[in-house]
Amino acid sequence: MKLSFYGAAHEVTGSCFYLEACGKHILIDCGMEQGSDQFENQEFPLNAAEIDCVLLTHAHIDHSGNLPSIYAKGFRGEIYSTHATYALCDIMLKDSAHIQQFEAEWKNRKAKRSEQEKTLPAYTMEDVLGVLGCFKSYEYENIIDLYSGIKIRFIDAGHLLGSSSIEVWITEGPISKKIVFSGDIGNSNQPLIHDPHYITEADYVVMESTYGDRTHGARPDYVNFLANVLQKTFDKGGNVIIPSFAVGRTQEILYFIRQMKENNLIKGHANFPVYVDSPLAIEATNIFNENTKGYFDEEAMALIDKGINPISFPDLHTTTTSDESKQINFIETSKVIISASGMCDAGRIRHHLKHNLWRNDSTVVFVGYQAEGTLGRILLDGVKKVKLFGEEIKVNATIVRFEGISAHADKDGLVRWLQSYEKKPERVFIVHGQDAVCNSFAEFLSHDLGYNTSAPYGGELYDLQTNVMLKAGIKKKPELTSEKQFRKTSAFQHLVDAGQHLIAVITSKKDGANKDLIQFTDQINSLSNKWEK
């Protein structure tokens, strides 16, 4: 009964935890690391083909994005999630594969001109389709007999449609332990979805700490704030451009706009059009509409019971093709354009910024976190000119930040969630936070509230039967690697992954017919002899 940490250890993204119990190898989340590495990733101790299953807290790419990668390396086990998480993964992992392949193609075009080596995508659409076939989805609150001695249950985490904390019960011989993996704990009073549900018992808790060093402050009046922005902009004859994350945030903004229209908050522009210009956001909105029961909160369900769609309204338009997207900017009527990406680093939003940033009458409203170095952050920091598609654009539009909106619980919310446990757990592991935040939140819980806490680094290993650390994590910072070195490493790593997959296939043929095994052996030897020459 052992637990180790291979992602989101003193970092916010890349969640991945490894549980060994009852002879099974289990991953909790398999997320993609986004942004620069703060600490060097530790080598995972087993081949992907040896992983029995993955327990997935939710669909965000920093929790699910490496699932196709382990499939490419030979994983053929089950992936357990809620129904809504599976539905969102279906669109988000496909979108991620498109991005992986597009970036590889772009790098290869660039490399071809300078005779550099070929870059391979982290995974392909075939890997995504394969891994989607591994999903087994369930409703909240149902206890699932995973294996002999292991049971699990998904509890609503209130972070995203279908997001969950996962309870895991393990019995090995006379010893039983319960571990809770928090996933991302949601902010309270979000539109559409429930507040986080509380859990009352656990021996161990693995807990996120994204905002473990701050509070969100008083909850803003989102509807009236946004209505005021729209009123001022439309009165000037301009457009409101909203760069928005396609899954979760876009649906919240639609919820707010429906309320504005219902209550006639925009005077003189009652029929203003709203365009959702993001194929991923449109697909995600459809999934929200198809997954209401058990996922939407009481307020949203009350609307549905009256025949009202909480995220739809008259004059809402969706655009899927690039031609439809381009036409939006030739419509003279003042309008709202919601488009991706949320940080303006790619996607159709950049075209809408090109057409509107130079206009004194238009407004750009940021409704989510803008990472350092992104176009969104640069605009918020007050830059006067930006370059888009090779053209220098003056920033004359009003730039507005939508304060306080977050899908993550703040420090107070995290503490409330932890204090719901009737008895203090044996140990609380603090993960999914920046380096300083993990340390400060763990220290606060320990010093001020009396919890036994650890903030593990990558590779750290614990015995859950004895509550003893067996192996310390490594705090090593990553070394900078040149682009050319990366390409060589990437191609070689794909070869290694293929070799591991082959080993897994060979192992699975242990009880095969002799005739088939001899034929398989001859094929492997023939291929090996070819490459040795």
For residues 45 and 141, state if they share a domain. yes
Over range 65-72, report the average pLDDT.
Answer: 95
Residue 36 has a pLDDT of: 62
CA distance 79 to 82: 10
**Residue 282 predicted with pLDDT over 70:** yes
Domain stops at, among 401, 433, 457: 401
Distances (CA, A) of 298 to 156, 214, 288, 302: 14, 29, 15, 6
Q: Is the distance from CB of 155 to CB of 165 less than 8 angstroms?
A: yes
**Residue 380 predicted with pLDDT over 80:** yes
Q: Is the distance from CB of 338 to CB of 277 less than 8 angstroms?
A: yes
The amino acid at 332: E
Residue 165 has a pLDDT of: 98
Domain stops at, among 401, 425, 455: 401
Residue range 382-407, pLDDT digits in tens? 999 999 998 999 999 999 998 778 89
DSSP E strands, 340-409: 363-366, 385-388, 391-394, 398-401
> What is the pLDDT confidence band of residue 113, given thresholds at 50, 70 and 90?
low
* Residue owning tokens 């757990």: 425
CA distance 155 to 163: 8
Q: Is residue 476 part of a domain?
A: no
For residues 139 and 193, state if they share a domain. yes
Domain stops at, among 369, 401, 433: 401
CA angle centred on 511, ends 507 and 514, rounded to 5°? 105
Residue 105 has a pLDDT of: 76
CA distance 408 to 157: 10
**Residue 486 predicted with pLDDT over 60:** no
Q: Is residue 477 part of a domain?
A: no
Residue range 159-189, pLDDT digits in tens? 999 999 999 999 999 999 999 999 999 999 9
For residues 242 and 136, state if they share a domain. no
Give the whole-number percent of the chain exceeding pLDDT 70. 92
Q: Is the distance from CB of 88 to CB of 67 less than 8 angstroms?
A: no
For residues 64 and 203, state if they share a domain. yes
**H or E element, residue 116:** none
The amino acid at 418: L
As separate numbers, helices (DSSP H) first and strands (DSSP E) second, the chain gives 15, 23
For residues 324 and 424, state if they share a domain. no
Contacts of 150 (CB under 8 A, 6+ apart): 21, 22, 24, 26, 168, 169, 170, 171
Q: Is residue 297 part of a domain?
A: yes
CA angle centred on 344, ends 114 and 191, rounded to 5°? 145
**Residue 484 predicted with pLDDT over 50:** no
Q: Which two tokens stand for residue 144?
A: 């699932």
Q: Which two tokens stand for residue 421?
A: 């446990």
The amino acid at 52: D
Can you list the alpha helix ranges (DSSP code H) found in 7-120? 61-64, 67-72, 83-113
Count of structural domains within the chain: 3
Q: Is the distance from CB of 45 to CB of 74 less than 8 angstroms?
A: no
Residue 47 has a pLDDT of: 92
Residue 533 has a pLDDT of: 63
Q: Is the distance from CB of 334 to CB of 269 less than 8 angstroms?
A: yes
Q: Is residue 131 part of a domain?
A: yes
> What is the pLDDT confidence band of residue 35, given thresholds at 50, 70 and 90?
low
Q: Is residue 499 part of a domain?
A: yes
Question: What is the phi-psi region of residue 345: left when phi exceeds 0, alpha when psi lies from -120 to 50, beta otherwise?
Answer: alpha
**Residue 259 predicted with pLDDT over 90:** yes
**Residue 87 predicted with pLDDT over 60:** yes
Mean pLDDT of the chain: 91
Can you list the alpha helix ranges (DSSP code H) found in 75-221? 83-113, 125-132
The dihedral over CA atoms of 429, 433, 436, 438, expressed in degrees to the nearest 10, equals -10
For residues 321 and 376, state if they share a domain. yes
- Domain at 353, CATH number: 3.40.50.10890
* Residue owning tokens 């995974």: 123
Q: In what order do the strands lie in the sheet with 135-138?
A: 135-138, 78-82, 53-55, 24-28, 16-21, 2-7, 461-463, 468-471
Over range 194-208, report the average pLDDT.
Answer: 98
Q: Is residue 351 part of a domain?
A: yes
For residues 8 and 49, state if they share a domain. yes
Model confidence pTM above 0.85: yes
For residues 458 and 487, state if they share a domain. no
**Residue 316 predicted with pLDDT over 90:** yes
Q: Is the distance from CB of 238 to CB of 151 less than 8 angstroms?
A: no
For residues 182 and 238, state if they share a domain. no
Residue range 490-520, pLDDT digits in tens? 556 666 666 766 776 787 677 778 888 888 8
Q: Secondary structure of 242-287 in the HEC alphabet?
A: EECCCCCHHHHHHHHHHHHHHCCCCCCCCCCCEEEECHHHHHHHHH
For residues 369 and 500, state if they share a domain. no
CA distance 452 to 220: 35
**Residue 19 predicted with pLDDT over 70:** yes
> How many CB atoms within 10 Å of residue 449?
13
Best CA proximity match to 397, nearest among 419, 440, 366: 366
> How many CB atoms within 10 Å of residue 92?
23
For residues 362 and 492, state if they share a domain. no
Q: Is residue 517 part of a domain?
A: yes
* Residue owning tokens 């999903």: 135
Residue range 415-429, pLDDT digits in tens? 999 999 999 999 999
> What is the pLDDT confidence band of residue 108, given thresholds at 50, 70 and 90?
confident
Q: Is residue 478 part of a domain?
A: no
- Domain at 179, CATH number: 3.60.15.10
For residues 244 and 157, state if they share a domain. no
What residues make up the domain containing 178? 2-215+407-471
Q: Is the distance from CB of 343 to CB of 376 less than 8 angstroms?
A: yes
Residue 98 has a pLDDT of: 86
